[in-house]
Amino acid sequence: MTTRKMLSLTIDGHAVTAPEGTSILEAARSVGVVVPHYCYHPGLPVAGVCRMCLVEVEKMPKLAPACATSVMEGQVVHVHSPKSLDARKGVLEFLLINHPLDCPICDQSGECKLQDYTFAEGRADSRYREAKRFSPVEDFGGDVLYVPNRCILCTRCVRFMSDVAHEPVLNVSERGDRAFIGKAEGNDLTHPWAGNVVDLCPVGALLSKDFLNKARAWELDRAPTICTGCSQGCNAVAETRDNELVRFKPRSNLQVNQYYLCETGRAGYREFNRRDRIREPMVRHDTALQPVDWDVALGALVQAVSARRLVVLASANLSNESLFLLERLQRLIPGAGIFRVERGAEAALPGVPELALRAERVANATAARLLGFVEATDVTDVLRADDALVVVGDDLEGIDSAALDLAATISYIGTSLPDALADRAAVVLPATSVIEEEGTLTNLRGRVQRFLQAKSAPGAARPTWFVLTDLLARCGGDAPFGAPSDVFDALTSTHEAFAGLDYDALGLGGVPLTEIGSTPVTATVGS
Amino acid sequence: MGFPHRAHPRETPVLSRYFGDTGARTLDGWRQRGGYEALDMALDTDPQALQAIVKESGLRGRGGAGFPTGLKWSFMKPDGKTHYLCCNADESEPGTFKDREIMRWTPHGLVEGVALAAHAIYAETAYIYIRGEFTEPLARVSAAVEEAYAAGVLGANAMGSGKRVDVHVHRGAGAYICGEETALMNSLEGRRGNPRIKPPFPAVAGLFGMPTTINNVETLATVPYIIKNGAEWYKQFGRRDNPKSVGTKLFSVCGNISRPGNYEVALGFPFKDFLYDLCGGPLPDREIKAVIPGGSSVPILTREEAEGAMMDYEGFVAAGTMLGSGGVIVFDDRQDMVRQIARLARFYAHESCAQCSQCREGTAWTTRILERIRDGEGSVEDFDTLLSIADNMSGKTICVLSDSCATPVVSGLAKFRHEFEAKIVPTRGTVTVAGAVRAAAS
Amino acid sequence: MSHGPAAGIGALASAPPHGVHGDTPYTAVFTGDRRVELDRILSRYPTKQAALLPALWMIQDARGWVSEAAIEEVAVVLALTPAYVKGVLSFYTMYHQHPVGRHFIQVCTTTPCNVCGAEDVVSAMLRHTGCSDLGLTSADGRFTVVEVECLGACGFATPIMINNEFVESVTPESVPRLLSELQ
């Protein structure tokens, strides 16, 4: 890699050093100066059309678009000089003359750049006295609605579809103030990554049908999470309203998913709002599962697995910590540890290298493999008569339930009791989903990434790692760990693959496992 | 030659010499009139020598910006890359119709200039982009290109020089903005005719991303004469006291004038003589009220200002306007300036490519206000709003279409404010909401 | 057929010629000689996309307008998407996105012609063609009249275009005779 020449300049009084070729906008951002903009987006080719990012550069005759102007040695830039402010005030007024000003009924309200910048730099009134342009809402197909009245023609959506998704199904149609974002009949926004246009839209012109009228932006609580829709490990934000998940939005991570999240990932939030959650620990008495307290239930589970061969069917969506604790349990009580992988069609986002909805539709198969779990299609491969079977998180979808009867005893730890276990489970422990706990996951490239708790768990449900650490201690293993970070420390100190990682140092962007970083894990499995 | 009128003795017909002469349209006819001698000569000359001659001649771009042609060519170096020449035949600046006549009467003159310029900038391929409405010029130039290929003037071994020169004609489809050089390139590439952000400039990354030179029809048609007769010959035309503007220039004259048409004069010609002598002045019983001297995008002059102007780049700047494309639009005393300025604004609103916010919204807003004033529904505050919008539209966009819309508004309001004021009917002024509330409360 | 959200009023929605509004069944344009011609055009450019405007002209010359089906054909032939083609098509005012009268009459009314009375020519055109408004086709399918921005023949006010033919110096008085020559 050639090193780029570093240039020094001044932006709003801040001394800035930036590599040659950096835009003024990005250089300003690096010192915390925000240049208001609409059409510019770091993931898209520069369009330079909204003209919002005009800034004053000393010795330049005209105001310069900060997104399309490269830094120069010794440059003095004024982002907030009267001239720059006037120009942007002018742009804001133009953008609003035909805008319906319907913020009270607009989904973008509260996270709208038109609102933000108008509040910060715009006029308090409008001098526009003519009739406003009106065009009806259009269904763009997929999850996307187009509200042309609010559109500022920044063309982010058009550029995303053509330059990132490589499927130009959107265009700018017509000219002048008659222009609008158009599409061709029968060519809908059905690309597996098309939903990103809604996030890219800086105003309320492109809306998610799924999220339509669900919540105001300011009513939402947000937590960083990792999408568990596949093994890519896209960084996301889980947004909840009154402890109900309402949507996933992409969280930028240039190493993993840049700024994007696929349709499958977005749709994944519904799973976390299931109503059929197990609310308390249960133990089977006679034929029925009876609620008991945690102590009793854990005792029953210990009894069920003692002195038997233990088969653990772990979900490959469990955190690194939970998988590690299960692996520890298996060391105490030998048997077999397996996991299943649902597969689907891979769907790449061609404009971003190494980004795809992966064929492996589970989040943590990499860690499961590293911790010695074996991929299986069915339990029959490993289950023998008189075994104790513990299912952790797996929904048993597609498993021949009669085959389970080979086990002497079946226990379940997880969120919703699979139908197959309704009459078979001896012990049932309510645990949390990744959305309700914190921990780490390892993606297909071996990147270990943290997720935080986004909502509280129902009833008496406990974090999976917490249930497992308790169980492990009762089976004679390590003393209970107090936090996921403690479990993680134990993982890194006992497993070569995870050696050297530090829970806090993972940050929110994650850190790659060194030996896996270079060798794609998927290349060795799943064939 | 003052086509469609006879040449006036004070004209200097170089480009227009054969306007109206149907014999000049064929390859043979063009050769009989001395055509293709310059190309023949040039193809055996080093491109840099050609660039030097044109630089020395003082020729400036005749499309509107007046950029020195030789200097533009000198940006093109033998760098091993594919170069392109674009001929801008999108003539669409209201008031301008000179390139049309060049193409209709002397298509081979253009083909010769294009081929010569292609060689001079190390290009093997040239495209002549002709606006879609120009069906006759399109047919004439296409026929000339075909003839030139058939005669070996163009092609793999142009005029036996061993050099490849391909010339292709490309038809536009109705978009004023495609006369902007980077919009033209986008259009040629099969895109919307959106102007591109500069830099990169065309000489670095132009058509198909390659180094490109783009010249106007009149500019390119002039080049063979310069190569044939020398830079000194060309420099003789012009004001003695202004060496920055030399050569002859075609001016298109239209609007309320006795003899509309094209006139070719040496730069520096007195505008008053031009209007009254050459063009015959106003129609009987009328007076000239205003003149836009360089196509609709330049500031409007009052009659007095126009009569004092000299017709060259600097002369028109001194008069507070620009030479532009040389499209002279004359307004007489029967014209309603508000109506006409509103009509100009409508033109720009129609033609805005829709990229830049200021232009897309500003041109349309300006038009709506002007038309409201025209219809007697305006108020005095509208004038301030118009000027403020014009300011917000000027110097802030990718290309100058936005500025071009603001220009007649600003100059119109400055010079013909009384006509705007006369449109304001006090009792019919628009009542603001705040005003209505106050009125109701009192 | 979707006209996009900004269409609607005056979207040339009158009775089309020959009573055919859609373009079905669609027969391909780029076959035989026209395919050969397109290939010849393609050879002039380093990209297929550059042949888009010429290809759209060929469609319009053959069919009189550019239908959705034609857009799809162009898209396939030039390896573009229909949406892309539509975005480009709608930028250029000379392409007809809807059927028009047999004689498509464009009257220049931009300033230079406007000061010479171009709007009177427009009125005369509407009156004598029987078109009820600009952009609407006459009941007999013969005429569509539109105003056009500067045709670049300002010294010959008022210039008009009838399909691909230029007529210069048209006056309200010359309109009836002009129209009588058009079938």
Instruction: Write the pLDDT tens digit of every residue in A21-43.
Output: 999 999 999 999 999 999 999 99
Sorting pLDDT into bands at 50, 70 and 90, what band is A342? very high
Q: Compute the Cα dihedral for A236, A242, A245, A249 and give only its sign.
A: negative
* More confident call, B213 vs A186: B213
Q: pLDDT per residue over C22-65, tens digit each?
A: 677 899 999 999 999 999 999 999 999 999 999 999 999 999 99
Are C91 and A168 an interchain contact pair (Cβ–Cβ within 8 Å)?
no
Least Cα separation, residue B176 to chain C (angstroms)? 8
Percent of chain A past pLDDT 70, that is, above it, reads 97
Give the residue numbers in A contacting C (CB under 8 Å), as ranges.
Answer: 133, 135-138, 146, 148, 162, 167-175, 178-180, 182-185, 187
The pLDDT of residue A518 is above 70: no
Q: Over chain A, what is the mean pLDDT?
A: 95
pLDDT value for C2: 39
What's the rounded mean pLDDT across residues A46-70? 97
Minimal C-alpha gap between B147 and chain C (Å): 17
Structural Rg of chain B based on CA atoms: 23
pLDDT over 70 at C11, yes or no? no
Would you place residue B439 in the very low, low, confident or very high pLDDT band (cuts 50, 70, 90)? low
| Average pLDDT across chain B, whole number | 95
Confidence of residue A194 (pLDDT cuts 50, 70, 90): very high
Q: Residue range B217-221: average pLDDT?
A: 98
Count residue pairs from A and C with Cβ separation < 8 A: 64
The pLDDT of residue A1 is above 70: no
- Select the residue of C47, C91, C151 nearest B192 (Cβ to Cβ): C91
- Using CA coordinates, name the residue in chain B closest to A152: B357
Q: What are B118-146's pLDDT values in tens digits?
A: 999 999 999 999 999 999 999 999 999 99
> Could you tell me what percent of chain A has a pLDDT over 90?
93
Residues of C in contact with B2 (CB under 8 A): none
Which pLDDT belongs to residue A380? Answer: 84
User: Interface of chain C against chain B, CB under 8 Å?
Assistant: 44-47, 49-54, 56-57, 78, 80, 87-88, 91-95, 106, 109-112, 114-116, 148-157, 161, 164-166
According to the model, what pLDDT value does residue B433 have? 57
Residue A521 has pLDDT above 90, yes or no: no
pLDDT at B426: 76
Q: Which residues in A lie closer than 8 A to residue C68 (C-beta atoms)?
A: 184-185
Q: Provide the pLDDT for residue B147.
A: 98
B residues 90-109 lying closer than 8 A (beta carbon) to C: 91-97, 100
- Determine the average pLDDT of the residues in A412-441: 97
Q: A114 — contact with chain B (CB < 8 Å)?
A: no
pLDDT for C87-139, tens place per residue? 999 999 999 999 999 999 999 999 999 999 999 999 999 999 999 999 999 99
Task: Give the minimum alpha-carbon distance from B256 to chain A in angstroms, rounded to a whole number.
Answer: 30
* pLDDT tier for residue B4 given thresholds of 50, 70 and 90: confident
Q: What is the mean pLDDT of residues A56-81?
A: 97
Which residues in chain B are contacts of C57 at CB distance < 8 A? 132, 171, 173
Instruction: State pLDDT tens for residues A214-230.
Output: 999 999 999 999 999 99
The answer to whether the beta carbons of residues A232 and A257 sit under 8 Å apart is: yes
- Please give the mean pLDDT across all residues of chain C: 89
Give the nearest chain C residue to B135 (CA atoms): C164
What is the Cα Rg of chain C in Å?
Answer: 18
Judged by phi (left if over 0) then psi (alpha if -120 to 50, else beta), residue A85 lies in alpha
Q: What is the pLDDT of residues A484-499, one digit of tens each?
A: 999 999 999 999 999 9
Does the structure show a pLDDT above 50 at C8?
no
In three-state form (DSSP H/G/I as H, E/B as E, the rest C), the secondary structure along chain B is CCCCCCCCCCCCCCCCCCCCCHHHHCHHHHHHCCCCHHHHHHHCCCHHHHHHHHHHHCCECCCCCCCEHHHHHHCCCCCCCCCEEEEEECCCCCCCCHHHHHHHHCHHHHHHHHHHHHHHCCCCEEEEEECCCCHHHHHHHHHHHHHHHHCCCCECCHHHCCCCEEEEEEECCCCHHHHCHHHHHHHHCCCCCCCCCCCCCCCCCCHHHCCEEEEEHHHHHHHHHHHHHCHHHHHCCECCCCCCCECEEEEEEEECCCCCEEEEEECCEEHHHHHHHHCCCCCCCCCEEEEECCCCCCCCEEHHHHHCCEECHHHHHHCCCCCCCCEEEEEECCCCHHHHHHHHHHHHHHHCCCCCHHHHHHHHHHHHHHHHHHCCCCCHHHHHHHHHHHHHHCCCCCCCHHHHHHHHHHHHHHHCHHHHHCCCCHHHCCCCHHHHHHHHHC
Separation CA C72–CA A317 (nearest Å): 44
Question: Which residues, listed in sequence order, are joined to residue B68 by a DSSP beta bridge?
Answer: B60
Contact check, Cβ <8 Å, C152/B191: no
Q: Judged by CB atoms within 8 Å, which residues 295-354 of B form the interface with C?
A: 296, 327, 329, 331-332, 335, 340, 343-344, 347, 350-351, 353
The partner residue sitting opposite B354, judged by closest CB among A54, A91, A153, is A153
A chain contacts of residue B391, beta-carbon cutoff 8 Å: 90
Q: Which residues of C touch B253 (CB under 8 A)?
A: 155
Nearest to A68 among B197, B350, B363 (CB): B197
d(C-alpha A506, C-alpha A500), whole Å: 11
pLDDT of residue C3 exceeding 50: no
pLDDT of residue A378: 87
- Look at residue C10 and tell me whether its pLDDT is greater than 50: no
Q: pLDDT at residue A2 above 70?
A: no
Residue B432's pLDDT band, with cuts at 50, 70 and 90, is low
Query: Is the predicted pLDDT of residue C150 greater than 90, yes or no?
Result: yes
- A409, B138, B224, B264 from B141: Cα distances, Å: 91, 5, 17, 21
Q: What is the mean pLDDT of residues C140-161?
A: 95
Residue B312 confidence (pLDDT) above 80: yes
Asked if the Cβ–Cβ distance from B357 to A152 is below 8 Å, we say: yes
Which of A:52-71 have CB within 8 Å of B?
52, 54, 62-63, 65, 68
So what's the pLDDT on residue A479? Answer: 86
Which strand (E) or helix (H) includes residue A25?
helix A24-30
Kindly report, residue by residue over A279-302, the tens digit of the pLDDT.
Answer: 999 999 988 999 999 999 999 999
Residue C110 with chain B: CB contacts under 8 Å: 94, 296, 343-344, 347
Split at pLDDT 50, 70, 90, the class of A520 is very low
Contact C83 A136 (CB under 8 A): no
Q: Assess B170–C contact: CB distance below 8 Å, yes or no.
A: yes
Nearest to B175 among C91, C111, C153 (CB): C91
pLDDT average, residue stretch C78-83: 97
Chain C residues within an 8 Å CB radius of A168: 80-81, 83-84
Confidence (pLDDT) at A225 = 98
- State the smallest CA–CA distance between residue A123 and chain C in angstroms: 28
- Among C1, C2, C3, C98, most A C-beta atoms within 10 A, so best to mutate, is C2
Question: What's the pLDDT score for residue B434?
Answer: 56
CB contact under 8 A, C81 and A187: yes
Check residue B334 and give its pLDDT.
Answer: 96
The share of chain C scoring above pLDDT 90, in percent, equals 86
Whole-number pLDDT of residue B5:
81
Of the partner residues C87, C109, C155, the one whose CB lies closest to the CB of residue B97: C155
CB contact under 8 Å between A51 and B395, yes or no, is: no
pLDDT above 60: residue A274: yes
On chain A, the residues whose CB falls within 8 A of the CB of B350 are 175-176
Of A136, A169, A187, the CB nearest to C5: A136
Q: How many CB pairs under 8 A join A and B?
A: 89
